[in-house]
């Protein structure tokens, strides 16, 4: 099979003509499809509906230690919620502080706290000339929005198949004390679906940061979000690895049940060292009296433990897997061998990361939009929205129905072909 | 009847001896009573238990406009929750942004946003030399904790029977551009139970602040928290009064259902001008994808509208009123005419504010503690915990049972008498 690059101009013009007709036809359909955000499909949410029955007016809304979950208090969450959340993160309850419904909110507040209050007695970042974060790219746009909002300078770190380029991370973190953090999605990373190797996790845990208030922002968003029952990634527990390496306070781990139970009504948490949690609680006690303990109780009574969570996630996988596989199939079928894009087959998480020819991503996204297919903005997976190569596109296959997704994927590959030919011919 | 001050030393010593015996007897009982925090009693929370039944696995968890409340989105809350919360505050839905479970969290985040991001394009407070807040005293300790945490200088403003001393507020706000805010609890104030007069509200709305980013922090915590069916305070709607006065952006109003439904699992909101809300959402969209919409839906489906809320609050009043009246009765019975304390009979809210002889509050609280009665720390209702007169004690009668409360109140008056005699004899 010939790649587009190997074809003659005439051949390409010929192909282009056919593609443009097809594209015009799609435009005529007035579609409104969306592969933009990592949202669960309604069918995934339906799986959690029995959770709405576990508490009713006859329930005793007390935690295992007798706390009235209807009243004020318990800043760090009820005992059994700490236990459940610890199991999700693969750590122990004394390392867990349970929050409200949004792990993004926990991350924002963690940066905000460091900015205003400082980290464990260190200078608040608002008083520093410069604060930098390392950002493995491509990464999660909402991470970058937080650090951008606080005026943090973001430094790109390339991703490898094993995680971030650790040589670069080690060199920068050990020499530049303005570097205060790094954003990580260690498992089924957003958007590439890469899981950090054991060596990567150990090198993270063994970092020797120049800044004493450097922290790893470990967004374990997809801790239990496998697509396959028998082909799952497992990462090392960063909390205990940091302890072993003599850096117990170096990591904040974030996670939630947003994509386990309900996306707006789950339970979020932070896991960290006991000393970090004590530092956090000093501020948190000023911010709130406590989070929603009834929702914590509802989650624990429904899922019970990690086995309940895992069984539930396999039901979700049964809904999500065919969607991923269909998109992968269409990509392979339509683009395989053409030399105009690369992608990997993720084993979990919410995204397929498509790497187009350089200079094509924006054009592809624009063309798709014109034909009624919403995609995450090109550049979004990079700090400041700047993809220097204009190449990465994040595909989110979960929310649309199979029918919509099939159509959207077909339009997507069409747009990839068109934009690639335009690029090659330009 | 003679006051303690009018009595001879001999008389006082005689009384003291009797009181000390009684005090020793109470100490011997090893009690653990608590009148410290404004927490609803379990019986009040029981009233909301039917709310646990309104949503179950057969419910369609969609808002009136079809939003799937189980999924991401709707940063400012679902339509019907905005409507319900607007009714509680006495405003209209376009002025409302619905948050999570804690109005304290909303207030903290509002100050935090101003500190980091600035108010509507004005200089972020973290870049200013000095930021001041006016604090009507006595007031709510958790307000003061927030501003103290951000390093804001707090300036005491005396309370009158009509609200804060508005002459002083007007003079300071109009001349000092470092004054960026004032903490207010306009209805059944914490701790005095004072409701601002119409004139006070109008003078607030008509303020001419030197600082363009000055805002009134209007914590309408007890908007619907009446103790009596036919003797209720009503305050003017500050939002529309500010509009009328040409200051539409000058107020942030905070409120929640924490003491309506469940104290840890209610719904909080902010009400403000459309322009303020737009400014807030720019930051909020970085912080979170949205709050818990299922809990919003649960509240609306249960309470339906302000009539549902008011009917529910009257059931709560039936539980709370006898507690307030018993404490008032014991205060009157035991301290009336002795000249050693003043208090008012609140018509709503959660507190009775006791004003002891100068220099006695700490001693009373310490004595009560020794006899097994927890009270809010003396000084707590003042910025930095400093009550210059050492006189104000906040009594929270709602949480204990009637039996516990009776005993606690009797110990309290005993401690007041003892501390007062010690003071007079000193």
Place of tokens 């908007």: B223
The ipTM estimated for the assembled molecules is: 0.97
Q: What is the bridge-based pairing of β-strands B132-137 and B179-184?
A: parallel
What average pLDDT is seen over chain B? 97
B384 touches chain A (CB under 8 A): no
Mean pLDDT of B85-102: 98
pLDDT of A66: 97
Q: Please list every residue in chain A whose beta carbon sits closer than 8 Å to the beta carbon of residue B100.
A: 100-101, 291-292
Q: Please list every residue in chain A whose beta carbon sits closer than 8 Å to the beta carbon of residue B150.
A: 116
Q: Please list every residue in chain A whose beta carbon sits closer than 8 Å to the beta carbon of residue B112.
A: 112, 116
Residue ranges in A90-159 assigned as alpha helix (H): 103-116, 141-149
Stretch (H or E) spanning B80:
helix B79-89
- Say if pTM beats, i.e. exceeds, 0.95: yes
Report CB contact under 8 Å: A72, B262: no
pLDDT of B231: 97
Q: Is the pLDDT of residue B323 over 80?
A: yes
The pLDDT confidence band at residue B1, using thresholds 50, 70 and 90, is confident
pLDDT of B37: 85
Pairwise CA distance, residues A224 & A231, whole Å: 13
Burial of A374 (0-12, 13-18, 19+ CB in 10 A): middle
Size of chain B, expressed as the number of residues it contains: 426
Distance in Å, alpha carbon of B356 to nearest chain A alpha carbon: 28
Report CB contact under 8 Å: A39, B70: no
Distance in Å, alpha carbon of A58 to nearest chain B alpha carbon: 8
Report CB contact under 8 Å: B70, A48: yes
Distance in Å, alpha carbon of B400 to nearest chain A alpha carbon: 13
**A residues 291-330 near B, CB within 8 Å?**
291-295
A426 touches chain B (CB under 8 A): no
Strand, coil or helix: A34: strand
A39 touches chain B (CB under 8 A): yes
Q: Which of A313, A398, A304 is nearest to A51 (CA)?
A: A304
Mean pLDDT of B287-311: 98
Mean pLDDT of B85-89: 98
Determine the residue of chain B that is closest to A288 in CA distance: B105
**A residues 151-170 near B, CB within 8 Å?**
none
Pairwise CA distance, residues A120 & B161, whole Å: 44
Q: Which of A379, A382, A345, A344 is nearest to A361 (CA)?
A: A379
* A39, A40, A49: residue with CB nearest B57: A49
Per-residue pLDDT of chain A (426 residues; tens, 9 = 90+): 799 999 999 999 999 999 999 999 999 999 999 999 899 999 999 999 999 999 999 999 999 999 999 999 999 999 999 999 999 999 999 999 999 999 999 999 999 999 999 999 999 999 999 999 999 999 999 999 999 999 999 999 999 999 999 999 999 999 999 999 999 999 999 999 999 999 999 999 999 999 999 999 999 999 999 999 999 999 999 999 999 999 999 999 999 999 999 999 999 999 999 999 999 999 999 999 999 999 999 999 999 999 999 999 999 999 999 999 999 999 999 999 999 999 999 999 999 999 999 999 999 999 999 999 999 999 999 999 999 999 999 999 999 999 999 999 999 999 999 999 999 999
Residue B94: DSSP 8-state:
G
Count of beta carbons in the 10 Å neighbourhood of residue B374: 17
pLDDT of B341: 97
pLDDT of A37: 85
Residue ranges in A304-425 assigned as alpha helix (H): 306-335, 361-370, 402-425
Report CB contact under 8 Å: A292, B293: no
Q: Is A231 within 8 Å of A193 (Cβ atoms)? A: no
Per-residue pLDDT tens over the stretch B154-191: 999 999 999 999 999 999 999 999 999 999 999 999 99
Report CB contact under 8 Å: B264, A52: no
pLDDT of A398: 97
Q: Which of B55, B121, B104, B46 is nearest to B297 (CA)?
A: B55
Q: Is B262 within 8 Å of B48 (Cβ atoms)? A: yes
Pairwise CA distance, residues B313 & B287, whole Å: 33
Per-residue pLDDT tens over the stretch B114-124: 999 999 999 99
pLDDT of A1: 77
pLDDT of B124: 97
Report CB contact under 8 Å: A295, B293: no
């Amino acid at each position: 099979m010939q790649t587009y690059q190997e074809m003659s101009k005439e051949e390409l013009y010929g192909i282009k003509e056919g593609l443009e007709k097809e594209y015009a036809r799609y435009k005529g359909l007035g579609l409104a499809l969306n592969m933009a955000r990592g949202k669960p499909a309604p069918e995934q949410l339906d799986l959690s509906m029995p959770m709405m029955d576990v508490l009713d007016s006859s329930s005793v809304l007390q935690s295992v230690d007798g706390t009235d979950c209807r009243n004020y208090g318990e800043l760090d969450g009820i005992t059994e919620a700490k236990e459940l959340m610890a199991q999700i993160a693969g750590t122990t309850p004394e390392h867990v502080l349970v929050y409200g419904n949004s792990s993004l909110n926990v991350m924002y507040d963690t940066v905000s706290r460091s900015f205003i209050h400082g980290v464990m007695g260190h200078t608040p970042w608002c008083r520093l000339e410069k604060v930098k974060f390392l950002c493995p790219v491509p990464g999660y746009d909402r991470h970058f929005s937080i650090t951008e909002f606080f005026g943090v300078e973001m430094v790109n770190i390339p991703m490898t198949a094993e995680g971030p380029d650790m040589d670069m991370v080690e060199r920068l973190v050990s020499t530049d004390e303005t570097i205060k953090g790094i954003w990580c999605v260690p498992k089924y990373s957003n958007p590439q679906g890469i899981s950090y190797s054991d060596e990567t996790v150990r090198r993270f845990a063994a970092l020797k940061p120049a800044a004493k208030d450097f922290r790893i922002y470990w967004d374990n968003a997809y801790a239990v979000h496998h697509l396959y029952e028998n082909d799952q990634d497992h990462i090392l527990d960063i909390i205990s690895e940091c302890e072993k390496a003599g850096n117990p306070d170096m990591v904040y781990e974030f996670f939630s049940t947003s994509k386990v139970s309900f996306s707006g009504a789950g339970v979020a948490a932070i896991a960290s060292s006991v000393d970090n949690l004590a530092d956090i609680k000093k501020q948190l006690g000023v911010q709130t009296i406590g989070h929603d303990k009834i929702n914590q109780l509802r989650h624990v009574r429904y899922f019970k433990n990690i086995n309940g969570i895992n069984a539930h996630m396999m039901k979700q996988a049964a809904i999500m897997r065919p969607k991923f596989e269909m998109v992968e199939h269409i990509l392979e079928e339509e683009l395989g061998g053409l030399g105009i894009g690369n992608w990997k087959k993720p084993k979990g998480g919410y995204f397929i990361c498509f790497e187009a020819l350089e200079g094509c991503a924006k054009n592809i996204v624009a063309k798709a939009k014109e034909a009624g297919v919403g995609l995450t903005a090109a550049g979004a997976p990079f700090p400041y929205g700047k993809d220097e190569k204009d190449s990465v596109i994040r595909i989110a296959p979960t929310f649309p129905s199979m029918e919509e997704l099939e159509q959207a994927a077909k339009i997507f590959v069409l747009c990839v072909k068109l934009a690639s030919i335009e690029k090659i011919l330009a």
